[in-house]
Amino acid sequence: MSDAVLGQFKQAIVEEKKIEGRKLKIGIIGTGWIAESHIQSYKIQPDVEIVAAADLIPGKAEKFMERFGVSGVRFYPSHKEMIDNEELDGVSICTYNTQHAEPTIYALKKNIPVLLEKPFTVTLEEAEAVCKAEKESTAFVSVGFQPRFDANMQMIKKIVDSGVLGKIYYIQTGGGRRRGIPGSTFIEKSTGGIGALGDIGCYSLDMVLNAIGYPKPLTVSGYVSDYFGKNPKYNGADAARFSVDDFGAAFIRLEGGIILDFRIAWAMHVNTPGDTIIFGTEGALRIPSTDCWNGSVGGPMTIYHDVCGAQTETVIPILQNSGKGGLFDKKIRSFLDAVKTGGPAPVPTSQILYNQAIIDGINKSSALGKEVEIVFNED
């Protein structure tokens, strides 16, 4: 079914649910760190009522809502009980990575729209299962990439779409921190599942793949390591429980003859692995090294192109974001607006499936020590 036909179908279901003229009933699954940003953004929306919250840790959701001064909420010990017992218009899934797919599929089976925190999932197989459940559902999933709402990030896509760069053939991207390994549930296989690749790598990939229209990934030669995370010299007591990647790099072939050269690090012995550079047949774009997980570019971008035979550099000034609220508020608002219209999802899984396929391919290639084909099911 085409996205347009699917959209009309989902719209009809929304009308049936009669959400016009009343507040949207929202539930939050997982009340840890990032849920704090969700609740603060929901609280400033005039058309939202937080009616339910779930967390596996007894008492955590109750304390969370008390801390944020939200009353009248019903509490549940996991996503299942919440979804089984509530009539919800939408859910925010703020669980750690290994608990992204299961609650999302459970919500989709009950036709509840989902705002799912990034990364989409841990494995490609999970991402495929979510996409399948979404196709069988009247609801949609939007993946929580708030940088998508930044004017400078949007400008990258506008520049590519304008044609000023010509045909894109090579991209160098990535990012990282000299020291910046998180703790908490990010660093264990059982909860984080993947490390720097999933935490910040997915943002770098989204920044460039979204700009060039998310071409399909074909092959990847990937590498991951954990030299910093596992070393008490750099990671203190957390080294003993560290079981994910802290660095990833890859050479990826995309449909349309495009090469993507990518690297990402939670820790390394250099301040940055470099700027993002997009090479095209008519021009190139330099995006100064960016902590893109924080939502924007690292400085004014430069287009290198020839104007009437003269090698010219055009600097794009940093743009201010318009409208009310920060990027996180815009992410929440975009989800609520999509709930009201029955979709489409502001950040659709049809795109982010490719992002996840690359991350999964990097891990598989690294384990095998050779280039792998990226094979996945989009039906």
Ligand X SMILES: NC(=O)c1ccc[n+]([C@@H]2O[C@H](COP(=O)([O-])OP(=O)(O)OC[C@H]3O[C@@H](n4cnc5c(N)ncnc54)[C@H](O)[C@@H]3O)[C@@H](O)[C@H]2O)c1
* Contact residues: ligand X, CB under 6 A: 29-35, 54-57, 60, 78-79, 94-97, 99, 103, 117-118, 144, 146, 184-185, 199
Strand order in the sheet with 276-280: 310-316, 301-307, 283-287, 276-280, 168-176, 258-265, 247-254, 217-225, 372-373
Residue 57 vs 307, nearer CB to ligand X: 57
Q: In sequence order, what are the beta bridge partners of 293?
A: none
* Tokens matching residue 154: 């949007």
* Rounded least distance, CB 197 to ligand X, Å: 11
Cα end-to-end distance, the chain, whole Å? 10
Which of 184, 341 has the CB closer to ligand X?
Answer: 184
Smallest gap from Cβ 7 to ligand X, in A, equals 25
- What is the closest distance, in whole angstroms, from the C-beta atom of residue 61 to ligand X in the complex? 8
Based on CB atoms, which residue is closest to ligand X, 86 or 286?
A: 86
Q: How far is the CB of 170 from ligand X (least distance, A)?
A: 29
> How far apart are the C-alpha atoms of 281 and 296, rounded to whole Å?
26
Mark 287-323 as b/e (b = at least 16 C-beta within 10 Å): bebbbbbebbbbeebbbbbeeeeeeeeeebeeeebee
> What does the alpha-carbon distance between residue 95 and residue 33 come to, in Å, rounded to a whole number?
9
Least distance (Å) between residue 303 CB and ligand X: 29
Of 25 and 286, nearer to ligand X (C-beta) is 25
Give the nearest distance from C-beta 294 to ligand X in angstroms: 8
The CB-of-82 to ligand X minimum distance in angstroms stands at 8
Those residues whose C-beta lies under 8 Å from the C-beta of residue 124, and which sit 6 or more positions away, are 356, 357, 360, 361, 376
- Alpha-carbon distances, residue 326 vs 151, 154, 294, 340 (angstroms): 11, 15, 11, 21
Cis peptide leading into residue 119 (ω within 30°): yes
Please say which residue, 60 or 340, places its beta carbon nearer to ligand X. Answer: 60
> Which of 54/220 has CB closer to ligand X?
54
Round to whole Å and give the CA distance between 353 and 214: 10
Nearer residue to ligand X within complex by CB, 103 or 217 = 103
Q: Which single residue brings its beta carbon nearest to ligand X?
A: 32
